[in-house]
Structure formats: C-alpha cells, structure tokens
C-alpha cells in the first residue's frame, strides 16, 4: 500500500516532486505503480472470485445478491455475533420477512427459497 501510494503521489504531483527527485525516478514510479496496480487487481479478483463464487456452501453464487434475504441458519453460521446481538435485543421478529419470490430464486440463483428469511 505504501509503494502504490507513494508512487501514485509522485505521479499525481510531478511538479512538486521534481524539485527533490531526479527525472529517472518518475519512470520508475510509473512502472512500479502499474505493476502494483496489476498485482492488486489480480489479488482482489482472485479473492472475490473464490469468496463470491467458488465456496462450496455458496456455489455457484450467494443468492443474497438477488433476493436480499438470508436464512436464519446462514445468519447463525456466518454472522454469529450479529445474530446474538439481535437475539439479545429482541429484534429477530422485527427483521423477519417472507421468503423471496420464487422467480428471483429461479432466475437469480439455482437454490430453493428458504421458508424463514431475514430482510437485508
């Protein structure tokens, strides 16, 4: 983060940094900034692709993006602290909602609609 940030500042304010840096440093900053950006995009894509699409329990993708709802079981497994906080506050029934419409689960994600859901 420091490398991409520092090289980005050098490229963003070249007149200011030209007072203290030789000209060849701008060439290095350009190369380093581009390589770091490529590395960051590759890392973000890889991590997102795995977490969003390849996890066995969510394959081929998480249906929450299409339905806006999460089952109680998923809430307990994936967000236990939030679930416990809501349970202690007595807000579970307040956040309960009907199951997602059948068309959204059929078109959006190939999983059966849960009977008991949470609104997002």
* 38 and 68, same domain (yes or no): no
The least confident of 25-34, 76-85, 96-105 is 96-105
The least confident of 33-42, 49-58, 86-95 is 49-58
Q: Which domain holds residue 7?
A: 2-54
* 37 and 72, same domain (yes or no): no
Number of domain units in the chain: 2
pLDDT one-digit tens code per residue, 61-85: 677 777 777 888 888 888 899 889 9
pTM value is 0.51
Cβ–Cβ under 8 Å, residues 27 and 12: no
116 SS3 class: coil
* 64 and 114, same domain (yes or no): yes
* 48 and 81, same domain (yes or no): no
* 79 and 28, same domain (yes or no): no
pLDDT reading at 104 higher than 80: no
């Amino acid at each position: 983060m420091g490398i991409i940030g520092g090289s980005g500042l050098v490229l963003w304010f070249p007149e200011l940094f030209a007072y203290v840096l030789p000209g060849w440093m701008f060439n290095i900053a350009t190369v380093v900034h581009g390589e770091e950006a490529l590395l960051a995009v590759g890392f973000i894509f890889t991590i997102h692709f795995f977490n969003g699409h390849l996890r066995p329990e969510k394959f081929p993708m998480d249906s929450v993006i299409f339905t806006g709802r999460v089952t109680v079981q998923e809430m307990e497994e994936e967000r236990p602290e939030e679930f416990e906080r809501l349970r202690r506050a007595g807000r579970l029934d307040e956040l309960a909602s009907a199951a997602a419409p059948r068309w959204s689960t059929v078109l959006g994600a190939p999983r059966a609609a849960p009977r008991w859901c949470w609104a997002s």
